[in-house]
A and B are shown apart, each in its own frame.
Chain A
Amino acid sequence: MRWSIRLASALAIASLPLSATAQQHAGHAAGPDDAEVRRQRAWDERVAIASPLSVGAALDARGHLWLARVENRHLRVSHSADGGRSFSDPVAVTPQPEAVTADAENRPKIAVGADGSVHVSWTQSLGKPMSAYIRYARSTDGGRTFSPPAILNDDRQMISHRFDALAVEGRGRVAVVWLDARSRSGKTVNKSPQTDVGLYAAVSEDGGENFGKNRRVADHSCQCCRTGLTWTSAGPIAFWRHVFGRNIRDFAIADLNGGPVLRVTDDEWEIDGCPHHGGGIAADGRGNLHIAWFTNGKKRKGIFYRRVAQTDFSKSAAPLDMSVPLALGEPARQAGHPAVAASGDRVLLTWREFDGQRFSAWAMLSQDAGQSWDAPQKIAEAAQQADFTLPLLDARQALVVWNTAAEGLRVLPVAEAQP
Protein backbone atom coordinates (compact mmCIF):
# COMPACT_ATOMS: atom_id res chain seq x y z
CA MET A 1 0.00 0.00 0.00
CA ARG A 2 2.78 2.34 0.99
CA TRP A 3 4.48 1.41 -2.23
CA SER A 4 1.48 2.09 -4.42
CA ILE A 5 1.20 5.57 -2.95
CA ARG A 6 4.88 6.16 -3.49
CA LEU A 7 4.64 4.93 -7.04
CA ALA A 8 1.59 7.08 -7.68
CA SER A 9 3.46 10.08 -6.28
CA ALA A 10 6.44 9.35 -8.47
CA LEU A 11 4.17 9.09 -11.48
CA ALA A 12 2.43 12.32 -10.59
CA ILE A 13 5.72 14.16 -10.22
CA ALA A 14 7.13 12.58 -13.31
CA SER A 15 4.21 13.17 -15.61
CA LEU A 16 3.20 16.70 -14.70
CA PRO A 17 5.78 18.82 -16.45
CA LEU A 18 5.84 16.38 -19.33
CA SER A 19 2.13 16.14 -19.96
CA ALA A 20 2.10 19.90 -20.45
CA THR A 21 4.77 19.48 -23.10
CA ALA A 22 2.90 16.60 -24.69
CA GLN A 23 -0.19 18.79 -25.05
CA GLN A 24 1.79 21.49 -26.79
CA HIS A 25 2.92 18.88 -29.23
CA ALA A 26 -0.50 17.37 -29.80
CA GLY A 27 -1.16 19.88 -32.58
CA HIS A 28 1.36 18.38 -34.96
CA ALA A 29 2.13 14.80 -35.91
CA ALA A 30 5.07 13.63 -33.83
CA GLY A 31 7.66 11.75 -35.88
CA PRO A 32 9.31 8.67 -34.42
CA ASP A 33 12.46 10.68 -33.74
CA ASP A 34 10.64 13.49 -31.98
CA ALA A 35 12.75 14.25 -28.92
CA GLU A 36 9.77 14.92 -26.65
CA VAL A 37 8.13 11.62 -27.51
CA ARG A 38 11.37 9.75 -26.87
CA ARG A 39 11.80 11.56 -23.61
CA GLN A 40 8.30 10.70 -22.46
CA ARG A 41 8.70 7.05 -23.40
CA ALA A 42 12.05 6.74 -21.65
CA TRP A 43 10.61 8.32 -18.53
CA ASP A 44 7.60 6.01 -18.46
CA GLU A 45 9.82 2.96 -18.91
CA ARG A 46 11.97 3.92 -15.94
CA VAL A 47 9.00 4.45 -13.64
CA ALA A 48 7.36 1.17 -14.60
CA ILE A 49 10.21 -1.24 -13.75
CA ALA A 50 8.89 -3.92 -11.42
CA SER A 51 11.38 -6.60 -12.34
CA PRO A 52 14.93 -5.30 -12.04
CA LEU A 53 17.56 -6.86 -14.27
CA SER A 54 20.13 -7.56 -11.55
CA VAL A 55 19.91 -11.27 -10.69
CA GLY A 56 21.96 -13.87 -8.83
CA ALA A 57 22.89 -17.27 -10.26
CA ALA A 58 24.73 -20.42 -9.18
CA LEU A 59 25.35 -24.04 -10.21
CA ASP A 60 24.67 -26.93 -7.85
CA ALA A 61 26.74 -30.13 -7.60
CA ARG A 62 24.63 -31.78 -10.34
CA GLY A 63 25.26 -28.90 -12.72
CA HIS A 64 21.73 -27.52 -12.40
CA LEU A 65 21.34 -23.78 -12.66
CA TRP A 66 19.81 -21.75 -9.80
CA LEU A 67 18.48 -18.26 -10.16
CA ALA A 68 17.51 -15.58 -7.61
CA ARG A 69 15.63 -12.57 -8.92
CA VAL A 70 13.36 -9.79 -7.71
CA GLU A 71 9.83 -9.54 -9.03
CA ASN A 72 7.24 -7.14 -7.66
CA ARG A 73 9.24 -6.63 -4.47
CA HIS A 74 9.61 -10.33 -3.77
CA LEU A 75 12.82 -12.32 -3.97
CA ARG A 76 12.11 -15.49 -5.96
CA VAL A 77 14.22 -18.57 -6.58
CA SER A 78 13.89 -21.02 -9.45
CA HIS A 79 16.12 -23.67 -11.01
CA SER A 80 16.78 -25.30 -14.33
CA ALA A 81 17.91 -28.85 -15.06
CA ASP A 82 18.35 -28.24 -18.81
CA GLY A 83 20.91 -25.44 -19.02
CA GLY A 84 18.38 -22.63 -18.72
CA ARG A 85 15.92 -23.71 -21.43
CA SER A 86 13.19 -24.15 -18.82
CA PHE A 87 12.91 -23.12 -15.18
CA SER A 88 10.87 -24.43 -12.24
CA ASP A 89 8.03 -22.26 -10.92
CA PRO A 90 9.68 -19.54 -8.82
CA VAL A 91 9.40 -19.89 -5.03
CA ALA A 92 9.11 -16.69 -2.97
CA VAL A 93 11.86 -16.39 -0.35
CA THR A 94 10.31 -13.23 1.10
CA PRO A 95 7.01 -13.94 2.89
CA GLN A 96 6.08 -10.24 2.65
CA PRO A 97 7.02 -7.83 -0.13
CA GLU A 98 10.14 -5.82 0.73
CA ALA A 99 12.61 -3.51 -0.98
CA VAL A 100 15.16 -6.09 -2.12
CA THR A 101 18.02 -4.12 -3.63
CA ALA A 102 18.78 -5.17 -7.18
CA ASP A 103 20.69 -2.57 -9.12
CA ALA A 104 24.09 -3.00 -10.73
CA GLU A 105 26.60 -3.42 -7.87
CA ASN A 106 23.83 -4.71 -5.58
CA ARG A 107 22.02 -7.92 -6.42
CA PRO A 108 20.58 -10.97 -4.64
CA LYS A 109 23.16 -13.74 -4.06
CA ILE A 110 22.53 -17.47 -4.29
CA ALA A 111 24.77 -20.46 -3.52
CA VAL A 112 24.09 -24.21 -3.31
CA GLY A 113 25.91 -26.53 -0.91
CA ALA A 114 27.20 -30.00 -1.78
CA ASP A 115 24.28 -31.37 0.27
CA GLY A 116 21.80 -29.55 -1.98
CA SER A 117 20.94 -26.85 0.56
CA VAL A 118 20.13 -23.53 -1.13
CA HIS A 119 21.32 -20.26 0.44
CA VAL A 120 20.35 -16.70 -0.47
CA SER A 121 21.46 -13.34 0.85
CA TRP A 122 20.33 -9.87 -0.11
CA THR A 123 20.26 -6.22 0.90
CA GLN A 124 16.93 -4.90 2.13
CA SER A 125 16.65 -1.19 1.54
CA LEU A 126 15.11 0.75 4.45
CA GLY A 127 13.30 4.05 4.58
CA LYS A 128 16.16 6.44 3.88
CA PRO A 129 18.77 6.54 1.15
CA MET A 130 21.60 4.05 1.65
CA SER A 131 20.14 2.58 4.87
CA ALA A 132 19.68 -1.18 4.59
CA TYR A 133 19.82 -4.54 6.36
CA ILE A 134 21.61 -7.71 5.27
CA ARG A 135 19.13 -10.56 4.92
CA TYR A 136 19.60 -14.33 4.64
CA ALA A 137 17.40 -17.40 4.12
CA ARG A 138 18.01 -21.03 3.20
CA SER A 139 16.17 -24.05 1.89
CA THR A 140 16.88 -27.59 3.08
CA ASP A 141 14.23 -29.22 0.87
CA GLY A 142 15.65 -28.56 -2.57
CA GLY A 143 14.27 -25.05 -2.93
CA ARG A 144 10.62 -25.92 -2.25
CA THR A 145 10.43 -23.79 0.91
CA PHE A 146 12.73 -21.24 2.54
CA SER A 147 13.40 -20.37 6.17
CA PRO A 148 11.97 -17.05 7.40
CA PRO A 149 14.46 -14.33 6.36
CA ALA A 150 16.97 -13.45 9.07
CA ILE A 151 18.67 -10.09 9.56
CA LEU A 152 22.41 -10.74 9.74
CA ASN A 153 23.68 -7.33 10.85
CA ASP A 154 23.36 -7.56 14.63
CA ASP A 155 23.45 -3.80 15.30
CA ARG A 156 20.02 -3.08 13.75
CA GLN A 157 20.82 0.60 13.25
CA MET A 158 19.11 2.38 10.39
CA ILE A 159 22.40 2.90 8.58
CA SER A 160 24.15 1.43 5.57
CA HIS A 161 24.68 -2.33 5.61
CA ARG A 162 24.94 -3.16 1.94
CA PHE A 163 26.87 -4.95 -0.82
CA ASP A 164 26.63 -8.44 0.61
CA ALA A 165 28.57 -11.41 -0.74
CA LEU A 166 27.79 -15.04 0.09
CA ALA A 167 29.81 -18.27 0.01
CA VAL A 168 29.08 -21.81 1.20
CA GLU A 169 31.74 -24.33 2.02
CA GLY A 170 29.77 -27.41 1.06
CA ARG A 171 30.05 -29.13 4.44
CA GLY A 172 27.85 -26.89 6.51
CA ARG A 173 29.70 -23.60 6.83
CA VAL A 174 28.12 -20.47 5.39
CA ALA A 175 29.71 -17.02 5.28
CA VAL A 176 28.34 -13.59 4.39
CA VAL A 177 30.32 -10.35 4.21
CA TRP A 178 29.06 -6.82 3.61
CA LEU A 179 30.00 -3.16 3.85
CA ASP A 180 28.85 -1.66 7.12
CA ALA A 181 28.70 1.96 8.29
CA ARG A 182 28.39 1.22 11.99
CA SER A 183 31.93 2.34 12.81
CA ARG A 184 30.78 5.83 11.81
CA SER A 185 28.53 5.96 14.84
CA GLY A 186 31.00 4.23 17.16
CA LYS A 187 34.30 5.22 18.68
CA THR A 188 36.51 4.25 15.77
CA VAL A 189 35.55 7.31 13.76
CA ASN A 190 38.39 8.10 11.46
CA LYS A 191 39.72 11.57 10.80
CA SER A 192 38.96 11.44 7.10
CA PRO A 193 35.20 11.31 6.61
CA GLN A 194 35.24 9.21 3.46
CA THR A 195 36.74 6.14 5.10
CA ASP A 196 34.23 5.34 7.81
CA VAL A 197 32.73 2.18 6.31
CA GLY A 198 34.19 -1.24 6.98
CA LEU A 199 33.86 -4.86 5.93
CA TYR A 200 31.88 -7.05 8.34
CA ALA A 201 31.26 -10.78 8.33
CA ALA A 202 28.85 -13.32 9.79
CA VAL A 203 29.73 -17.01 9.68
CA SER A 204 27.53 -20.04 10.38
CA GLU A 205 28.97 -23.39 11.46
CA ASP A 206 25.65 -25.23 11.21
CA GLY A 207 24.59 -24.82 7.64
CA GLY A 208 22.96 -21.42 8.07
CA GLU A 209 20.68 -22.18 11.00
CA ASN A 210 22.62 -19.87 13.32
CA PHE A 211 25.24 -17.24 12.65
CA GLY A 212 27.99 -16.18 15.05
CA LYS A 213 28.44 -12.61 16.20
CA ASN A 214 29.22 -10.07 13.50
CA ARG A 215 32.93 -9.56 13.13
CA ARG A 216 34.71 -6.52 11.74
CA VAL A 217 37.15 -7.76 9.12
CA ALA A 218 38.52 -4.38 8.07
CA ASP A 219 38.04 -0.67 8.64
CA HIS A 220 38.08 1.95 5.89
CA SER A 221 36.63 0.27 2.86
CA CYS A 222 35.26 2.04 -0.15
CA GLN A 223 31.50 2.55 0.30
CA CYS A 224 29.61 1.43 -2.79
CA CYS A 225 31.37 -1.26 -4.77
CA ARG A 226 30.26 -4.88 -4.74
CA THR A 227 32.25 -7.22 -2.52
CA GLY A 228 33.38 -10.77 -3.34
CA LEU A 229 33.70 -13.93 -1.27
CA THR A 230 35.13 -17.34 -2.17
CA TRP A 231 35.88 -20.51 -0.26
CA THR A 232 39.32 -22.12 -0.36
CA SER A 233 40.25 -25.35 1.40
CA ALA A 234 41.57 -23.12 4.19
CA GLY A 235 38.43 -21.02 4.57
CA PRO A 236 36.53 -18.06 3.17
CA ILE A 237 38.47 -15.21 1.53
CA ALA A 238 36.81 -11.81 1.03
CA PHE A 239 37.68 -9.34 -1.72
CA TRP A 240 36.69 -5.67 -1.72
CA ARG A 241 37.70 -2.17 -2.72
CA HIS A 242 39.60 -0.82 0.25
CA VAL A 243 40.86 2.64 1.11
CA PHE A 244 44.64 2.59 1.51
CA GLY A 245 46.43 5.54 3.05
CA ARG A 246 44.36 8.70 2.92
CA ASN A 247 42.30 7.88 -0.11
CA ILE A 248 43.71 5.25 -2.50
CA ARG A 249 40.83 3.01 -3.58
CA ASP A 250 42.53 -0.23 -4.58
CA PHE A 251 41.56 -3.83 -3.75
CA ALA A 252 42.25 -6.02 -0.75
CA ILE A 253 41.65 -9.59 0.36
CA ALA A 254 41.34 -11.04 3.85
CA ASP A 255 40.99 -14.57 5.16
CA LEU A 256 37.90 -14.49 7.38
CA ASN A 257 39.72 -16.70 9.90
CA GLY A 258 41.25 -13.54 11.35
CA GLY A 259 43.76 -12.93 8.55
CA PRO A 260 45.32 -9.54 7.86
CA VAL A 261 44.14 -7.12 5.15
CA LEU A 262 46.33 -7.90 2.14
CA ARG A 263 46.62 -5.44 -0.73
CA VAL A 264 46.21 -7.19 -4.09
CA THR A 265 46.10 -4.27 -6.56
CA ASP A 266 48.37 -1.23 -6.80
CA ASP A 267 46.60 0.97 -9.34
CA GLU A 268 46.83 4.09 -7.16
CA TRP A 269 43.26 5.22 -7.76
CA GLU A 270 42.88 8.27 -5.59
CA ILE A 271 39.35 9.67 -5.72
CA ASP A 272 37.13 11.59 -3.28
CA GLY A 273 34.16 9.87 -4.80
CA CYS A 274 32.29 6.67 -5.51
CA PRO A 275 33.55 4.39 -8.29
CA HIS A 276 30.32 2.28 -8.20
CA HIS A 277 32.40 -0.36 -9.92
CA GLY A 278 34.01 -3.27 -8.06
CA GLY A 279 35.43 -6.65 -8.90
CA GLY A 280 35.15 -10.39 -8.38
CA ILE A 281 37.11 -13.30 -6.92
CA ALA A 282 37.16 -17.08 -7.31
CA ALA A 283 39.36 -19.83 -5.85
CA ASP A 284 40.49 -22.71 -8.06
CA GLY A 285 40.91 -26.36 -7.07
CA ARG A 286 44.45 -25.78 -5.79
CA GLY A 287 43.58 -22.76 -3.66
CA ASN A 288 44.96 -20.12 -6.04
CA LEU A 289 42.87 -16.95 -6.12
CA HIS A 290 41.69 -15.33 -9.34
CA ILE A 291 40.62 -11.71 -9.21
CA ALA A 292 39.15 -9.36 -11.81
CA TRP A 293 38.52 -5.67 -11.17
CA PHE A 294 37.97 -2.16 -12.49
CA THR A 295 40.22 0.79 -11.81
CA ASN A 296 40.74 4.32 -13.03
CA GLY A 297 44.03 4.70 -11.21
CA LYS A 298 47.23 6.57 -11.94
CA LYS A 299 49.07 3.38 -12.86
CA ARG A 300 46.39 1.67 -14.91
CA LYS A 301 42.84 2.24 -16.13
CA GLY A 302 40.26 -0.28 -17.23
CA ILE A 303 39.47 -3.86 -16.22
CA PHE A 304 42.16 -6.34 -15.25
CA TYR A 305 42.76 -9.93 -14.19
CA ARG A 306 45.44 -11.28 -11.90
CA ARG A 307 46.19 -14.57 -10.18
CA VAL A 308 47.25 -14.69 -6.54
CA ALA A 309 49.15 -17.93 -5.86
CA GLN A 310 47.98 -20.16 -3.03
CA THR A 311 49.52 -19.46 0.36
CA ASP A 312 48.37 -19.27 3.99
CA PHE A 313 46.35 -16.07 3.69
CA SER A 314 45.46 -16.15 7.38
CA LYS A 315 48.96 -15.09 8.37
CA SER A 316 50.77 -14.21 5.19
CA ALA A 317 53.28 -11.55 6.11
CA ALA A 318 55.50 -12.49 3.15
CA PRO A 319 54.81 -10.72 -0.15
CA LEU A 320 52.08 -12.40 -2.19
CA ASP A 321 53.00 -14.20 -5.40
CA MET A 322 50.83 -12.38 -7.94
CA SER A 323 50.79 -12.38 -11.75
CA VAL A 324 51.19 -9.12 -13.69
CA PRO A 325 47.73 -7.51 -14.19
CA LEU A 326 46.28 -8.58 -17.54
CA ALA A 327 44.15 -5.95 -19.31
CA LEU A 328 40.75 -7.24 -20.43
CA GLY A 329 38.36 -6.01 -23.10
CA GLU A 330 38.26 -2.90 -25.22
CA PRO A 331 38.67 0.34 -23.26
CA ALA A 332 37.06 2.36 -26.09
CA ARG A 333 33.93 0.26 -25.58
CA GLN A 334 33.95 0.89 -21.84
CA ALA A 335 34.81 -2.72 -20.97
CA GLY A 336 33.59 -3.04 -17.39
CA HIS A 337 32.13 -5.00 -14.50
CA PRO A 338 34.33 -8.08 -14.81
CA ALA A 339 33.55 -11.31 -12.96
CA VAL A 340 35.38 -14.60 -12.51
CA ALA A 341 34.54 -18.25 -11.80
CA ALA A 342 36.91 -21.19 -11.29
CA SER A 343 36.61 -24.98 -11.24
CA GLY A 344 39.61 -27.30 -10.92
CA ASP A 345 42.28 -25.72 -13.13
CA ARG A 346 39.76 -23.92 -15.37
CA VAL A 347 38.99 -20.23 -14.97
CA LEU A 348 36.24 -18.26 -16.70
CA LEU A 349 36.38 -14.47 -16.99
CA THR A 350 33.43 -12.43 -18.25
CA TRP A 351 32.72 -8.74 -18.69
CA ARG A 352 30.40 -6.28 -20.42
CA GLU A 353 31.14 -3.70 -23.10
CA PHE A 354 29.12 -0.72 -24.36
CA ASP A 355 29.68 1.10 -27.64
CA GLY A 356 27.42 4.05 -26.90
CA GLN A 357 24.30 2.27 -28.16
CA ARG A 358 24.51 -1.45 -27.46
CA PHE A 359 25.88 -3.73 -24.75
CA SER A 360 27.84 -6.88 -25.52
CA ALA A 361 28.84 -9.81 -23.29
CA TRP A 362 32.38 -11.19 -23.42
CA ALA A 363 34.04 -14.32 -22.04
CA MET A 364 37.55 -15.74 -21.86
CA LEU A 365 38.69 -19.17 -20.62
CA SER A 366 41.88 -20.57 -19.15
CA GLN A 367 42.57 -24.31 -18.86
CA ASP A 368 45.70 -23.92 -16.74
CA ALA A 369 44.68 -21.90 -13.69
CA GLY A 370 45.09 -18.53 -15.35
CA GLN A 371 48.58 -18.96 -16.80
CA SER A 372 47.40 -18.86 -20.42
CA TRP A 373 44.09 -17.76 -21.95
CA ASP A 374 41.98 -18.58 -25.01
CA ALA A 375 41.03 -15.63 -27.20
CA PRO A 376 38.20 -13.50 -25.80
CA GLN A 377 34.78 -14.33 -27.29
CA LYS A 378 31.87 -11.99 -27.82
CA ILE A 379 29.01 -14.25 -26.84
CA ALA A 380 25.97 -11.97 -27.19
CA GLU A 381 24.67 -8.46 -27.76
CA ALA A 382 21.69 -6.72 -26.20
CA ALA A 383 19.44 -4.17 -27.87
CA GLN A 384 18.37 -2.51 -24.62
CA GLN A 385 19.48 -2.40 -20.99
CA ALA A 386 21.61 -5.29 -19.78
CA ASP A 387 22.78 -6.62 -16.44
CA PHE A 388 26.39 -7.47 -15.65
CA THR A 389 27.56 -10.87 -16.89
CA LEU A 390 27.57 -13.75 -14.38
CA PRO A 391 30.08 -16.54 -15.10
CA LEU A 392 29.24 -20.11 -13.99
CA LEU A 393 31.72 -22.95 -14.26
CA ASP A 394 31.91 -26.61 -13.24
CA ALA A 395 33.73 -29.67 -14.58
CA ARG A 396 31.20 -30.11 -17.40
CA GLN A 397 30.10 -26.65 -18.50
CA ALA A 398 31.05 -23.01 -18.89
CA LEU A 399 28.04 -20.68 -18.89
CA VAL A 400 27.30 -16.99 -18.72
CA VAL A 401 24.00 -15.82 -17.28
CA TRP A 402 23.07 -12.46 -18.78
CA ASN A 403 19.76 -10.79 -18.04
CA THR A 404 18.71 -8.31 -20.71
CA ALA A 405 15.63 -6.12 -21.00
CA ALA A 406 14.78 -6.84 -24.63
CA GLU A 407 15.90 -10.47 -24.98
CA GLY A 408 15.12 -11.69 -21.45
CA LEU A 409 17.25 -13.90 -19.23
CA ARG A 410 19.90 -15.61 -21.30
CA VAL A 411 22.02 -18.61 -20.38
CA LEU A 412 24.89 -18.57 -22.85
CA PRO A 413 27.32 -21.47 -23.25
CA VAL A 414 30.98 -20.47 -23.73
CA ALA A 415 32.65 -22.40 -26.55
CA GLU A 416 35.49 -24.44 -25.09
CA ALA A 417 38.40 -26.07 -26.92
CA GLN A 418 38.52 -29.77 -26.00
CA PRO A 419 41.63 -30.34 -23.89
Chain B
Amino acid sequence: MRRACLAVLLALAAATSSAGELRPFTTDSLAAIRQQFAGRPFILTLWSLTCHHCAKELQTLGKLASSERNLPLVIVSTDTSDDARELRAALKRHGLDRLDTWVFADAVPERLRYAIDPSWRGELPRSYLFDVAHRREAHSGLLNEAQLKGWLNRQRAGG
Protein backbone atom coordinates (compact mmCIF):
# COMPACT_ATOMS: atom_id res chain seq x y z
CA MET B 1 0.00 0.00 0.00
CA ARG B 2 2.67 2.39 1.05
CA ARG B 3 4.96 1.41 -1.80
CA ALA B 4 2.12 1.77 -4.30
CA CYS B 5 1.33 5.17 -2.89
CA LEU B 6 4.92 6.33 -3.24
CA ALA B 7 5.19 4.91 -6.75
CA VAL B 8 2.17 6.91 -7.83
CA LEU B 9 3.59 10.02 -6.22
CA LEU B 10 6.95 9.49 -7.89
CA ALA B 11 5.24 9.13 -11.25
CA LEU B 12 3.15 12.22 -10.60
CA ALA B 13 6.13 14.24 -9.52
CA ALA B 14 8.13 13.16 -12.56
CA ALA B 15 5.27 14.01 -14.91
CA THR B 16 4.80 17.47 -13.46
CA SER B 17 8.35 18.42 -12.62
CA SER B 18 8.55 21.18 -15.22
CA ALA B 19 5.03 22.61 -15.23
CA GLY B 20 2.64 22.52 -12.32
CA GLU B 21 5.34 21.93 -9.76
CA LEU B 22 4.58 23.34 -6.32
CA ARG B 23 7.72 25.36 -5.69
CA PRO B 24 8.97 26.37 -2.24
CA PHE B 25 8.49 30.12 -1.69
CA THR B 26 11.27 31.74 0.32
CA THR B 27 12.32 35.31 1.15
CA ASP B 28 14.04 35.70 -2.24
CA SER B 29 11.27 34.15 -4.35
CA LEU B 30 9.41 37.37 -5.14
CA ALA B 31 12.61 38.83 -6.62
CA ALA B 32 12.97 35.70 -8.77
CA ILE B 33 9.34 35.94 -9.89
CA ARG B 34 9.75 39.61 -10.80
CA GLN B 35 12.83 38.74 -12.81
CA GLN B 36 10.85 36.05 -14.60
CA PHE B 37 8.24 38.70 -15.51
CA ALA B 38 10.74 41.50 -16.23
CA GLY B 39 9.07 44.11 -18.42
CA ARG B 40 5.72 42.32 -18.19
CA PRO B 41 2.71 42.76 -15.95
CA PHE B 42 1.64 39.89 -13.69
CA ILE B 43 -0.78 38.93 -10.93
CA LEU B 44 0.45 37.46 -7.65
CA THR B 45 -2.26 35.75 -5.61
CA LEU B 46 -1.80 34.41 -2.08
CA TRP B 47 -4.21 31.87 -0.66
CA SER B 48 -4.56 29.09 1.91
CA LEU B 49 -6.50 25.90 2.45
CA THR B 50 -7.57 27.35 5.80
CA CYS B 51 -9.12 30.43 4.22
CA HIS B 52 -12.85 30.27 3.76
CA HIS B 53 -12.92 32.69 0.81
CA CYS B 54 -9.94 31.28 -1.04
CA ALA B 55 -11.80 28.46 -2.81
CA LYS B 56 -13.94 31.12 -4.46
CA GLU B 57 -10.83 33.09 -5.42
CA LEU B 58 -9.34 29.96 -7.03
CA GLN B 59 -12.59 29.41 -8.88
CA THR B 60 -12.41 32.94 -10.32
CA LEU B 61 -8.77 32.49 -11.27
CA GLY B 62 -9.54 29.11 -12.84
CA LYS B 63 -12.23 30.66 -15.03
CA LEU B 64 -9.88 33.45 -16.00
CA ALA B 65 -7.09 31.01 -16.80
CA SER B 66 -9.36 28.99 -19.08
CA SER B 67 -10.41 32.07 -21.06
CA GLU B 68 -7.05 33.87 -21.17
CA ARG B 69 -4.16 32.20 -22.93
CA ASN B 70 -0.81 32.59 -21.13
CA LEU B 71 -2.35 34.31 -18.14
CA PRO B 72 0.53 35.97 -16.25
CA LEU B 73 -0.54 34.56 -12.90
CA VAL B 74 1.54 33.33 -9.97
CA ILE B 75 -0.30 31.49 -7.17
CA VAL B 76 1.31 31.21 -3.75
CA SER B 77 -0.14 29.14 -0.91
CA THR B 78 0.66 30.28 2.64
CA ASP B 79 0.26 26.69 3.89
CA THR B 80 3.20 24.32 4.23
CA SER B 81 4.67 21.39 2.34
CA ASP B 82 2.73 19.17 4.77
CA ASP B 83 -0.34 20.19 2.82
CA ALA B 84 1.15 19.48 -0.63
CA ARG B 85 -1.37 16.79 -1.47
CA GLU B 86 -4.41 18.91 -0.58
CA LEU B 87 -2.90 21.95 -2.28
CA ARG B 88 -2.38 20.05 -5.53
CA ALA B 89 -5.90 18.66 -5.37
CA ALA B 90 -7.41 22.12 -4.83
CA LEU B 91 -5.37 23.68 -7.64
CA LYS B 92 -6.22 20.82 -9.99
CA ARG B 93 -9.92 21.13 -9.16
CA HIS B 94 -9.86 24.68 -10.48
CA GLY B 95 -7.63 23.91 -13.46
CA LEU B 96 -4.72 25.84 -11.97
CA ASP B 97 -2.26 23.00 -11.40
CA ARG B 98 -0.31 23.65 -14.62
CA LEU B 99 0.36 27.27 -13.70
CA ASP B 100 3.19 28.80 -11.74
CA THR B 101 2.36 27.61 -8.21
CA TRP B 102 4.29 27.98 -4.96
CA VAL B 103 3.92 27.17 -1.29
CA PHE B 104 5.42 29.03 1.70
CA ALA B 105 8.64 27.37 2.90
CA ASP B 106 10.04 29.07 5.95
CA ALA B 107 9.98 28.01 9.59
CA VAL B 108 8.85 31.61 10.26
CA PRO B 109 6.16 32.28 7.63
CA GLU B 110 5.83 35.86 8.94
CA ARG B 111 9.25 36.52 7.39
CA LEU B 112 7.82 35.64 3.98
CA ARG B 113 4.81 37.88 4.53
CA TYR B 114 7.09 40.69 5.61
CA ALA B 115 9.42 40.14 2.65
CA ILE B 116 6.46 40.44 0.28
CA ASP B 117 4.91 43.46 2.01
CA PRO B 118 5.41 44.69 5.61
CA SER B 119 1.95 46.25 5.56
CA TRP B 120 0.21 42.96 4.75
CA ARG B 121 -1.16 41.52 8.00
CA GLY B 122 -1.94 38.03 6.78
CA GLU B 123 -5.53 38.44 5.65
CA LEU B 124 -6.48 36.22 2.70
CA PRO B 125 -6.94 36.07 -0.19
CA ARG B 126 -4.36 38.76 -0.90
CA SER B 127 -3.47 39.88 -4.42
CA TYR B 128 -0.83 42.10 -5.96
CA LEU B 129 -1.30 43.44 -9.46
CA PHE B 130 2.13 44.28 -10.90
CA ASP B 131 2.08 46.56 -13.94
CA VAL B 132 4.73 46.67 -16.69
CA ALA B 133 7.04 48.73 -14.48
CA HIS B 134 6.18 46.42 -11.55
CA ARG B 135 4.39 49.18 -9.65
CA ARG B 136 1.99 47.14 -7.61
CA GLU B 137 -1.56 47.50 -6.44
CA ALA B 138 -2.44 45.48 -3.32
CA HIS B 139 -5.87 44.04 -2.69
CA SER B 140 -7.23 42.18 0.34
CA GLY B 141 -10.20 39.87 -0.16
CA LEU B 142 -11.87 38.50 -3.27
CA LEU B 143 -11.29 39.95 -6.71
CA ASN B 144 -13.93 39.23 -9.33
CA GLU B 145 -13.38 38.21 -12.93
CA ALA B 146 -14.46 41.59 -14.32
CA GLN B 147 -11.94 43.41 -12.11
CA LEU B 148 -9.13 41.11 -13.21
CA LYS B 149 -10.07 41.20 -16.89
CA GLY B 150 -10.35 44.98 -16.77
CA TRP B 151 -6.91 45.23 -15.25
CA LEU B 152 -5.40 42.82 -17.81
CA ASN B 153 -6.97 44.76 -20.68
CA ARG B 154 -5.61 48.03 -19.34
CA GLN B 155 -2.14 46.49 -19.16
CA ARG B 156 -2.40 45.25 -22.75
CA ALA B 157 -3.56 48.69 -23.88
CA GLY B 158 -0.36 50.01 -22.37
CA GLY B 159 -1.60 51.75 -19.37
Rounded to whole Å, the gap between the CB of A99 and the closest CB of chain B is 11
Find chain A residues with CB under 8 A from B86 CB: 129
Find chain A residues with CB under 8 A from B26 CB: 35, 38-39, 42
Restricting to A201-242, which residues have a CB under 8 Å from any CB of B?
223-224
Restricting to B65-98, which residues have a CB under 8 Å from any CB of A?
80-86, 88, 90
Which of B9, B22, B82, B124 is the most central at the interface, judged by chain A CB atoms within 10 Å of its CB? B82
A194:B81 contact, CB within 8 angstroms: no
A9:B85 contact, CB within 8 angstroms: yes
Interface size on A, residues (CB 8 A): 49
Decide: A273 near B2, CB < 8 A? Known: A14-B81, A47-B82, A384-B108: no
- One of B35-43, B45-53, B148-156 contacting the partner: B45-53
Restricting to A66-106, which residues have a CB under 8 Å from any CB of B?
103
Decide: A43 near B123, CB < 8 A? Known: A10-B82, A14-B84, A224-B51: no
Find chain A residues with CB under 8 A from B122 CB: 275-277
A46:B81 contact, CB within 8 angstroms: yes
Restricting to A255-283, which residues have a CB under 8 Å from any CB of B?
271-277
Find chain A residues with CB under 8 A from B136 CB: none
A10:B121 contact, CB within 8 angstroms: no
A6:B85 contact, CB within 8 angstroms: yes
Is residue A385 contacting chain B, with contact meaning CB distance below 8 A? yes
In the complex, which residue of chain B has the Cβ closest to the Cβ of A382? B108
Q: Which of A18, A130, A334 contacts B24 (CB 8 A)?
A: A18
Rounded to whole Å, the gap between the CB of B18 and the closest CB of chain A is 10
Decide: A276 near B123, CB < 8 A? Known: A10-B81, A13-B13, A356-B118: yes
Interface size on B, residues (CB 8 A): 50
Find chain B residues with CB under 8 A from A384 CB: 107-108
A271:B52 contact, CB within 8 angstroms: no
Rounded to whole Å, the gap between the CB of B27 and the closest CB of chain A is 8
Is residue B132 contacting chain A, with contact meaning CB distance below 8 A? no
Rounded to whole Å, the gap between the CB of A302 and the closest CB of chain B is 9
Rounded to whole Å, the gap between the CB of B145 and the closest CB of chain A is 14
Decide: A35 near B121, CB < 8 A? Known: A5-B5, A9-B9, A405-B107: no
In the complex, which residue of chain B has the Cβ closest to the Cβ of A38? B26
Q: Which of B14, B23, B24, B53 contacts A272 (CB 8 A)?
A: B53
Known: A46-B80, A47-B80; 12 extra A-B contacts, CB below 8 A, are A13-B13, A14-B81, A16-B13, A39-B26, A46-B81, A47-B82, A129-B90, A223-B52, A275-B123, A296-B123, A384-B107, A385-B107
A residues bordering B, Cβ < 8 Å?
5-10, 12-14, 16-18, 20, 35, 38-39, 42-43, 45-47, 49, 103, 129-130, 193-194, 197, 223-224, 271-277, 294, 296, 332, 334, 336, 354, 356-357, 359, 384-385, 405
**Can you list 21 contacts pairing A with B, beta carbon distance less than 8 Å?**
A9-B5, A12-B6, A12-B13, A13-B81, A17-B21, A35-B26, A38-B26, A42-B105, A46-B81, A46-B107, A129-B50, A129-B90, A224-B51, A271-B140, A273-B126, A273-B140, A273-B141, A276-B122, A277-B121, A296-B140, A336-B121
